[in-house]
Structure 1
Amino acid sequence: MAGKVSGPVGASGGKTIQQNSDINVTPFVDIMLVLLIIFMVSAPLATVSIKLDLPPATPPVNQEQQKEPTYISIQESGSIFIADKQTTIETLANDVCAAVGNPTGQGCQEERVFIRAQPEVKYNQFMEVMNDLQKNGFFKVGLLNEDIE
């Protein structure tokens, strides 16, 4: 902390000493300028370039296209649609297999299935569809959400 000397006070002509509580920022500015110079000098040295010899890009050997996923839509009235075809909860698994392109039912559970529901659909209607799919072995199920404005 610094001190402050003032002029003559009173009849005695003596000087009084007071404490100065102002912050002395000069050392702080000096330190910051030194740090700035250090960072400016050392920043270009930190960039190191390494030469890489990467192999050329080649397309994959088997380019089979992924199948389009099956979309299950649940209406507010409780109606269930697979693409544009209406179905019921009892025939849902068979209709999903038919929509996937495997009407025999062997291996259709490995395909992706997406469920979208209208905002007004009740939770138990939605969970009934989810539980039926899970009971029939469909575990690759995705949920689609649409923003409500």
Structure 2
Amino acid sequence: MAFALRNQDGGSDAAPMADMNVTPLVDVMLVLLIVFMVAAPLMAVGVPVDLPKVQAKQLNDQKPPIAVSIDAEGNFFIDQKAVAADSLFDELNSASENDKERRIHVRGDKNAIYGKVIEAMGKINGAGFTKVALVSEAPNAPTPAAARPAQVR
């Protein structure tokens, strides 16, 4: 703690200062933070071992998600293939090979009618799929031409 001393003549011009100086505390905490930030990745490494090589298949066989897209006119697409609204249920089952745990990404055009996006999500839920996600873009991110569904007439 910091404090003030009295004058030589015995009188006091000001009350004793009882404020704590926190600058050294902040300095020590910042040094500790830097030490832990540098040391933390080094602690996560285990003992180096030479792993054997095997001819086994991966345990988590993750299939890519199925993309259901709705364009500005309200047309439905599964991946790049245009589908009718009433056959969306059957097309999803065939695209997923009846795997109800398959991930579905719903991509709605920003100018699409809200009801069409909800209709697509309702049909996906009605088909029994539980892993459904809405896809959006980060601000100022350009849309790649390959990600846009092809127009089928």
**TM-score tier (shorter):** 0.5 to 0.7
The root-mean-square deviation of aligned C-alpha atoms, in Å, is: 4.1
* C-alpha contact (below 8 Å) 2:104/2:133 kept by paired residues: yes
Unaligned runs of 5+ in 2: 141-153
| Partner residue, 1:137 | 128
**Cα displacement string for residues 41-93 of structure 1 (whole angstroms, at most 9, x for unaligned residues):** xx9xxx9x9xx656544568323753322111111111111122111221001
Larger radius of gyration between Structure 1 and Structure 2: 1
Runs of 4+ in structure 1 deviating by more than 3 angstroms, as ranges, are 20-25, 52-60
Q: Identity over the aligned pairs, expressed in percent? A: 21
* C-alpha contact (below 8 Å) 2:102/2:131 kept by paired residues: yes
2:58 to 51, 63, 74: 63
Alignment of 1:7-26 (within 5 A): 17-21=11-15, 23=17
* C-alpha contact (below 8 Å) 2:89/2:124 kept by paired residues: yes
> What letter is aligned with 1:3?
R
TM-score (norm 2): 0.57
Q: Does 1:89 align with 2:92?
A: no
Task: Output the CA distance in 2 between the equivalents of 1:148 and 1:120.
Answer: 16
Unaligned runs of 5+ in 1: 7-15
TM-score (norm 1): 0.59
